């Protein structure tokens, strides 16, 4: 039995994963959470064999690379599989170097790929969904900046101040300032904004607008997951049950949310 934990900021994604993985006889879901603050306490209380982790938690400061390195150091027997909408080569390569053993992009029919991925990484073998394989093959594999410098730039590009960055990374404010000094020297720039632009040009940061694309893709992938869930039930049972009406309502709500986000993007 493979013990699995799920961490994703979207409750409906967690519901889809629980229902789909719950049908796998060799997988046991220990817990799930959409609250980043609960990730470490839950892991400490019930350490899974495989942690399935998203890369973003809306409204919650999160730096995935440093978090993954800390988890790998504290729980060396636990393997981490990333499940995310992000398909940028900079993310895939960076996270594999940080110690993740699996990377599944949600657009790759994650409800089908995930169980296979969990079984693979539980055997300490690498698992990449097709889009992740493509992204990794196009990554540059050579960096001007250090891992910590890239982390600071990612957080800054998300709008975090030096104080916020220091708190997220668990370092002193002066340490962040020192890193900025090194970044300026390496990139030959004089402002945070210029450093972020230069790092994007060097492909050491994910593409500009990655967070906005993630906001749009989350409801889209939820719609895809819910629809596949219902289609699977229809194929297995020949009809839908009464309680499937709730899932249809969720599909409508997610479609409305996606429509609203598209309006925001275009205006």
pLDDT tens, residue by residue, 175-225? 999 999 999 999 999 999 999 888 888 878 877 655 566 566 667 767 776
Q: Helix 210-237 to helix 110-122 angle, to the nearest 10 degrees?
A: 100
Least-confidence region, from 14-23, 27-36, 238-247: 238-247
| Model pLDDT for residues 225-262, shown as the tens digit of each residue | 677 777 777 777 787 777 677 777 777 777 777 777 67
Mean pLDDT, rounded, of the chain: 84
> What is the pLDDT, as a whole number, of residue 147?
85
> What is the pLDDT, as a whole number, of residue 212?
60
> What is the pLDDT, as a whole number, of residue 51?
97
Q: Is 52 or 211 the better-scoring residue by pLDDT? A: 52
The yes-or-no verdict on residue 134 having pLDDT over 90 is no
Binning pLDDT at 50, 70 and 90, where does residue 126 land?
very high
Alpha-carbon distance of 262 to 267, in angstroms, equals: 9
Nearest to 49 by CA among 73, 63, 29: 29
Alpha-carbon distance of 143 to 212, in angstroms, equals: 25
Q: Is 134 or 241 the better-scoring residue by pLDDT? A: 134
Nearest to 140 by CA among 216, 72, 204, 71: 204
Stretch 50-64: mean pLDDT, rounded? Answer: 85
Phi-psi group of 2: left, alpha or beta (phi > 0 → left; psi -120 to 50 → alpha; rest → beta): beta
**Who's near 117: CB < 8 A, 6+ residues apart?**
81, 102, 104, 127, 129
Binning pLDDT at 50, 70 and 90, where does residue 123 land?
very high
> What is the pLDDT, as a whole number, of residue 267?
65
Share of the chain above pLDDT 90, in %: 37
Dihedral Cα 78, 81, 86, 90, nearest 10 deg: 70
Phi-psi group of 188: left, alpha or beta (phi > 0 → left; psi -120 to 50 → alpha; rest → beta): left
Alpha-carbon distance of 112 to 245, in angstroms, equals: 23
Stretch 73-91: mean pLDDT, rounded? Answer: 89
**Who's near 19: CB < 8 A, 6+ residues apart?**
229
pTM: 0.71
């Amino acid at each position: 039995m493979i013990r699995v934990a799920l961490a994703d900021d979207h409750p409906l994604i967690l519901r889809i994963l629980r229902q789909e993985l719950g049908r796998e006889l060799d997988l046991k879901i220990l817990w799930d959470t959409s609250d980043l603050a609960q990730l470490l306490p839950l892991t400490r209380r019930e350490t899974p064999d495989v942690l399935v982790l998203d890369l973003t938690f809306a409204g919650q400061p999160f730096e995935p690379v440093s978090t993954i390195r800390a988890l790998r150091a504290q729980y060396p027997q636990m393997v981490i599989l990333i499940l995310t909408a992000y398909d940028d080569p900079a993310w895939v390569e960076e996270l594999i170097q940080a110690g993740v053993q699996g990377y599944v992009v949600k657009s790759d029919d994650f409800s089908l790929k995930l169980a296979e991925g969990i079984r693979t990484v539980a055997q300490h073998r690498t698992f990449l969904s097709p889009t992740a394989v493509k992204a990794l093959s196009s990554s540059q594999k050579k960096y001007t900046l250090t891992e910590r410098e890239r982390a600071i730039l990612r957080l800054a590009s998300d709008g975090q101040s030096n104080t916020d960055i220091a708190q997220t990374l668990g370092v002193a404010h002066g340490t962040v300032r020192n890193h900025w000094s090194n970044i300026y020297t390496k990139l030959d720039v004089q402002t945070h904004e210029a450093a972020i632009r230069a790092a994007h040009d060097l492909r050491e940061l994910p593409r500009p607008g990655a967070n906005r694309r993630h906001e749009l893709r989350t409801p889209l992938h939820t719609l895809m997951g819910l629809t596949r869930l219902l289609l699977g039930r229809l194929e297995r049972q020949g009809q839908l049950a009464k309680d499937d009406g709730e899932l249809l309502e969720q599909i409508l709500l997610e479609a409305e949310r996606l429509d609203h986000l598209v309006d925001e993007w275009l205006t």
